[in-house]
Amino acid sequence: MAAPAPVIDGTTRVYGLLGRPVAHSLSPAMHNAAFAHLGINAVYVPFEVQDLAQAVAGLRGLNIGGVSVTIPFKEEIIPLLDEVAGPAARMGAVNTVVNQDGRLVGHNTDWLGAVTALQERVELRGRHILLLGAGGAARAIVFGVLQAGARVSLTDIDTAKAAALAREFGVEALEPGQLEACGAEILINATPVGMEPHAGDLPLAPELLSRFRLVMDIVYRPLRTRLLTEAHARGCEVVDGLRMLLHQGAAQFTLWTGQPAPVAVMAEAASGALAGTATCMDKPSG
């Protein structure tokens, strides 16, 4: 027998996701399952944002408890907040906002999600990582893996942006044509390349993959991207984007509620939502 639907009333705390697009997100399934499991009177809703400044004003006006922030707003949202806390200020990217009695405080849990997902498979200290991308997610990952003791080289099709990020964190920037000479053991794709509806795309030449011990893709729709498929075929360990999503989401949940996140419940809900979409659509959905 299905569990009864939660009662939404005037005391229900509202949380959400700010981004564009957001229809593909698994975060509502994760967070709503966690609220229900712990008996918290709260709901998590995805908001497709057209005007970020108006959306942030709406968080204040509606007393929204907190939000996740996704592409393309992780850097753009910073000047609209009252405070940016801890690591988020250092990395210049926010993926979580907490409403503290009317003050909107920005945090970043992406770096925790990435490092936890990687360390489930490999010790990062002393490893050399090649990071693809120079956007908000890449900023968080650079910060996180450096904190874990890794060495980083990064690249992006926007070479000026990659160079600026590399200077900021004191790491190596590579031109896209220099990747063959890079001796990194771990590859992380922090770009949207390979995401539905462009699941056949690759962020780098497949013949370069065999040199890596482990390949991680932050894309989770499809769960097994072409990058991960090609890497696995060449003998690499692979880490899918759902692991990072899960661990960063668990950290968000704790920031909002002050309670430990039910990680197993959130993992099951996210996996179920992903599988359910694929079943309904006869293919993974973006």
Task: Read off the pLDDT band of 276 (50, 70, 90).
Answer: confident
CATH class of 13-108+243-281: alpha beta
- What is the reported pLDDT for 197? 87
Domains 13-108+243-281 and 112-239 share a fold: yes
Contact predicate 154/174, CB 8 Å: yes
- What is the reported pLDDT for 114? 97
Q: Is 29 exposed, middle or buried (0-12, 13-18, 19+ CB in 10 A)?
A: buried
Q: What is the mean pLDDT of residues 242-265?
A: 97
Q: How many CA within 13 A on the CB side of residue 43?
A: 11
Q: Is the pLDDT score of 214 beyond 80?
A: yes
- What b/e readout covers 165-197, taking b as 16+ CB neighbours within 10 angstroms? bbeeeebebbeeeebeebebbbbbbbbbbbbbe
d(CA 105, CA 83): 5
d(CA 263, CA 226): 27
Find, among 270, 70, 285, 71, the residue nearest to 199 by Cα. 285
pLDDT in tens, 142-198: 999 999 999 999 999 999 999 999 999 999 999 999 999 999 999 999 999 998 889
Active site residue ranges: 74
pLDDT in tens, 80-122: 999 999 899 999 999 999 999 999 999 999 999 999 999 999 9
pLDDT in tens, 37-61: 999 999 999 999 999 999 999 999 9
Residue 100 CB neighbours (<10 A)? 13
Domain residue ranges of the chain, discontinuous segments joined by +: 13-108+243-281, 112-239
Q: Is the pLDDT score of 132 beyond 70?
A: yes
Task: Read off the pLDDT band of 286 (50, 70, 90).
Answer: very low
pLDDT, the chain, mean: 93
- CATH of 112-239 given 3.30.2320.80, 3.40.630.30, 3.90.1170.50, 3.40.50.720: 3.40.50.720
- What is the reported pLDDT for 279? 33
Q: What is the DSSP string of 54-100?
A: HHHHHHHHTT--EEEE-TT-TTTTGGGSSEE-HHHHHHT---EEEEE
Task: Read off the pLDDT band of 4 (50, 70, 90).
Answer: low
Return the ∠ at Cα 60 (arms to 58 and 65), rounded to 5°. 100
